[in-house]
Amino acid sequence: MKNILVINSGSSSLKFQLIKMPDETVLASGLVERIGQERGKLSYKSEKFSVSEETEVPNHTAGLKAVTKLLMDPENGVIKDASEISAIGHRVVHGGDKFSETIVIDAKVKATIKELFSLAPLHNPPNLTGIEVAEEIFPGAPQVGVFDTAFHRSIPSRANRYAIPNSFYEDQKIQVYGFHGTSHKYVSEKAIEYLGKENSKIISVHLGNGCSITAVQNGKSIDHSLGFGPVNGLIMGTRSGDIDQSVIFYLINQLGYTAQEVSDLLHHKSGMLGLTGYSDLRDIEAEAENGNRICQLALEMNAYRIKKYIGGYAAAMNGLDAVIFTAGIGENSDVIRALVCKEMDFLGIELNEAENGKRSKDFRDISSGKYGVKILVIPTNEELEIAKQTYDLIS
């Protein structure tokens, strides 16, 4: 048995789980929030102890030290000392074209992650900070990087290239990289296990504040809605998804926007927020149910975009065995699932409406059974997937 500490470090947060592998037992989990702000917040939970409190967290080092203190607490801790941590698995958002698999982190890997800051400026810097802090606190444990983009390295050239001069690909590495790969890998493997067939054609729909959809054929990502960056594809909480490039030129050339202002608009002020004034889908669904036509339209637009991608990916794979809904919205919104699956019987997609309406945190099949395509709700578990990949690498 080996204890794997999984760390997902954000700009002002640090999410963690301590998982005993290979039996996948979660010994402790939690979140450090508002790092560097006036009052931080620490949430921690184990089988015999939990706490949620405001506390001073000036930096990531202080946050991880606070977590470590709870993990090794003489009365309520789950380990006795740092030597019981076998390895630390880190979520790293962008691996560019450098990393196609999980890797033990050394000085060269850290330097490469730093080189990729420009491709994920909101994510890779705090990811690297988490690695450096963990090295300081757990110097004896191997640090392992699990890259969100790695699962999508299998996308073929016909799908991952843009129709711009080849020099931009050859010299600048501008291509489809994709995101949410750890989530898509985890849920698609669960689906393959359920289907009982390796030669499978699956569409994985990850719907949270950020959204993406992946065509997974025989366990490999072969196409994906997010590309060079995380703003295109599906309509998201605050991100626009697909947009005509001419709109960007019009905003800059005719309306006087700067490039940075357009970027801010498309990343932070668009999507469901731009359409409705709300970024939380629960608020939008409540307003739509009360007759708010703007919110009703936004839900229809959201589902319509997903339907188009499902149709396109089914065509790309020449068939379809299952559609997966995962992440916060995918797992919990029966409204979105119903809108997406409406009038999709030509593809063999039909909901069991009673099953779709049930609330559950478990894996479930919500298809009617009338056609061949399974509609699956699979709770994602990126932390467990990181722990599995870390364990496999060091074992």
Residues tagged in the binding site annotation for ATP: 15, 206-210, 280-282, 328-332
Interval 149-163 mean pLDDT: 95
Look at residue 333 and tell me whether its pLDDT is greater than 90: yes
Q: What is the pLDDT of residues 243-263, one digit of tens each?
A: 999 999 999 999 999 999 999
Q: Report d(CA 15, CA 121) in Å as an integer.
A: 19
Q: Report d(CA 250, CA 235) in Å as an integer.
A: 21
Contact assessment for residue 144 and residue 90, using Cβ atoms and an 8 Å cutoff: yes
What local confidence, expressed as pLDDT, does residue 116 receive? 87
If one counts every other C-beta atom within 10 angstroms of the C-beta of residue 178, the result is: 27
Lowest model confidence (mean pLDDT) among 120-134, 156-170, 191-205: 120-134
Interval 217-231 mean pLDDT: 94
Residues tagged in the binding site annotation: 8, 15, 91, 206-210, 280-282, 328-332, 382
Residues tagged in the binding site annotation for substrate: 91
**Length of the chain measured in residues:** 395
What is the DSSP annotation of 196-214?
Answer: T-SS-EEEEEEESSSEEEE
Domain 197-377 has CATH 3.30.420.40: yes
Residues of the chain with CATH 3.30.420.40: 2-147, 197-377
What local confidence, expressed as pLDDT, does residue 12 receive? 75
DSSP E strands, the chain: 2-9, 14-21, 25-33, 40-46, 50-55, 85-92, 103-104, 143-147, 201-207, 211-217, 220-224, 322-326, 364-365, 374-377
Based on the number of CB atoms within 10 Å of its own CB, is 43 exposed (0-12), middle (13-18) or buried (19 or more)?
A: middle
What local confidence, expressed as pLDDT, does residue 220 receive? 96
Return mean pLDDT, the chain: 93
Residues tagged in the binding site annotation for Mg(2+): 8, 382
Instruction: Please report, rounded to a whole number, the percentage of residues in the chain having pLDDT higher than 90.
Output: 70
What is the DSSP annotation of 45-74?
Answer: EESS-EEEEEE---SHHHHHHHHHHHHT-T
Identify the band that residue 209 occupies on the pLDDT scale cut at 50, 70 and 90. confident
What local confidence, expressed as pLDDT, does residue 279 receive? 86
Which positions are catalytic?
Answer: 148
2-147: CATH class: alpha beta
Look at residue 181 and tell me whether its pLDDT is greater than 70: yes
What local confidence, expressed as pLDDT, does residue 11 receive? 67
Identify the band that residue 59 occupies on the pLDDT scale cut at 50, 70 and 90. confident
Look at residue 300 and tell me whether its pLDDT is greater than 90: yes
What local confidence, expressed as pLDDT, does residue 196 receive? 94
| Closest among 19, 103, 22, 33 to 66, alpha carbons compared | 33
Contact assessment for residue 244 and residue 231, using Cβ atoms and an 8 Å cutoff: no
